[in-house]
């Protein structure tokens, strides 16, 4: 008997496994040694789901490994009965499949009873619970122009930082984690525009990364921030660091935390005196980390920018994801309708 060790920041689980699963254990230990191939968010989700699954099995006297399709089906249905969102259950399903895949074992998606259970969960979520995928409240171009007027008048350095942050987020459609990694050296000015080099995104992980040529307006806003903050002389520094109460930017290589970036959006919402939006999924009452990304996508669609171009701008891989944003934003006019009205 040997032990399969699964560890993470949130703890460690040990479990004896039989000799017939030694190859699976070896495969998974190889995965643990090669975790750099996956994003931190994926690894975090895997740990959280694994711990939830292991606790559920322990409470029922079941072995968590190997993952029994019968037990997994019951686990997923109990999550559904506990009113967890179908998207959350999909994540548990995907992570358990990932665990099996890394071990070289058949996935749950290959089992008919589990597939039928997931079909039931999706159908009941849509038809009985009236569930819709949660989406950030869009920050639109008109909102950003008004924020520009208000924030540019401020003497507070944090307001100039927030102004530049929001412009860059809207212009590039970068996700929050991607925004947090931008350094001063990633900006290259040519004439009256700046090119931003993005080392990688959630969906682009090649060594070349990608370059985004920013608008002249965004370039001007960024230059205001660089001049006021003194960051221009610190190429390795994070572009959007904390601002001290003394009205000075902290020169650091440590990115802003997710809550700090979320606060930039919620503060902007409050600055415009907006009322809380109707919450969906129990959240999204104000602008949040994805709001500029969603708003820019909707604005482009309303200006008849093609789906292909919008997907390239936002580095979306699946058109279904983008279409969900656009439908929730009220952009429903199809290509044939536009053709008939032209």
DSSP 79-113: HHHTT--HHHHHHHHHHHHHHHHHHT---GGG-HH
- Please tell me what DSSP assigns to residue 185: G
Residue pLDDT, tens place only, 253-311: 999 999 999 999 999 999 998 876 555 554 567 899 889 999 999 999 888 888 889 99
Q: Alpha-carbon distance 28 to 32, whole Å?
A: 6
Query: Dmax over Cα atoms in the chain, in whole Å?
Result: 72
User: What is the predicted pLDDT for the residue at 13?
Assistant: 37
User: What is the predicted pLDDT for the residue at 40?
Assistant: 78
What residues are annotated to the active site? Answer: 175, 290, 293, 316, 325
The domains of the chain, with CATH numbers, are 2-127 (1.10.150.130), 141-336 (1.10.443.10)
Q: Is the peptide bond before 222 cis (omega within 30 degrees of 0)?
A: no
| Alpha-carbon distance values, 286 to 173, 277, 314 (Å) | 18, 6, 21
Neighbours of 280 (CB within 10 A): 16
Q: Alpha-carbon distance 141 to 161, whole Å?
A: 18
**199, two tokens:** 């080392």
pLDDT of 6 > 80? The answer is: no
Please return the burial class of 177, using the count of CB atoms within 10 Å of its CB with bins 0-12, 13-18 and 19+.
middle
| Stretch (H or E) spanning 57 | helix 40-59
Q: Alpha-carbon distance 21 to 335, whole Å?
A: 53
Average of pLDDT values for 203-217? 79
Neighbours of 7 (CB within 10 A): 11
Backbone angles phi, psi at 339, to 5 degrees: -65, -45
Share of residues in the chain with pLDDT > 90 (%) = 48
pLDDT of 148 > 50? The answer is: yes
Average of pLDDT values for 309-317? 88
Winning range, highest mean pLDDT, from 21-30, 118-127, 243-252? 243-252
User: What is the predicted pLDDT for the residue at 134?
Assistant: 57
Question: Model's pTM, two decimal places?
Answer: 0.63
User: What is the predicted pLDDT for the residue at 10?
Assistant: 32
User: What is the predicted pLDDT for the residue at 334?
Assistant: 52
């Amino acid at each position: 008997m040997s032990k399969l060790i699964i560890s993470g920041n949130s703890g460690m689980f040990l479990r004896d496994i039989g000799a017939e699963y030694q190859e699976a254990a070896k495969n998974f230990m190889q995965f643990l040694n090669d975790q750099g191939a996956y994003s931190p968010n994926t690894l975090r989700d895997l740990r959280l789901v694994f711990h939830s699954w292991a606790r559920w099995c322990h409470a029922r006297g079941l072995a968590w490994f190997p993952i029994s399709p019968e037990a997994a089906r019951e686990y997923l249905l109990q999550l559904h009965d506990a009113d967890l969102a179908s998207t959350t259950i999909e994540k548990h399903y995907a992570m358990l499949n990932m665990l099996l895949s890394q071990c070289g074992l058949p996935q749950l998606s290959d089992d008919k009873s589990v597939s039928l259970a997931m079909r039931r969960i999706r159908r009941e979520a849509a038809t009985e619970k009236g569930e819709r995928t949660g989406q950030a409240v869009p920050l639109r171009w008109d909102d950003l122009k008004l924020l520009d007027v208000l924030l540019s008048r401020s003497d507070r350095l944090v307001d100039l930082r927030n102004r530049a942050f929001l412009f860059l987020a809207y212009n590039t459609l970068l996700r929050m984690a991607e925004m947090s990694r931008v350094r001063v050296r990633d900006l290259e000015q040519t004439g009256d525009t700046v090119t931003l080099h993005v080392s990688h995104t959630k969906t682009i992980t090649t060594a070349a990364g990608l370059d985004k040529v920013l608008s002249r307006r965004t370039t001007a806003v960024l230059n205001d921030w660089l001049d006021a903050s003194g960051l221009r002389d610190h190429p390795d520094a994070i572009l959007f660091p904390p601002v001290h109460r003394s009205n000075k930017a902290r020169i650091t290589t440590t990115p802003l935390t997710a809550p700090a970036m979320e606060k930039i959006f919620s503060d902007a919402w409050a600055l415009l005196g907006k009322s809380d939006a109707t919450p969906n999924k129990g959240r999204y009452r104000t602008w949040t980390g994805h709001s500029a990304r969603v708003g820019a996508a909707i604005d482009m669609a309303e200006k008849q920018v093609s789906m292909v171009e919008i997907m390239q701008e936002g580095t979306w891989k699946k058109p279904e994801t983008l279409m969900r944003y656009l439908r929730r934003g009220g952009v429903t006019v199809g290509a044939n309708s536009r053709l008939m009205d032209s």
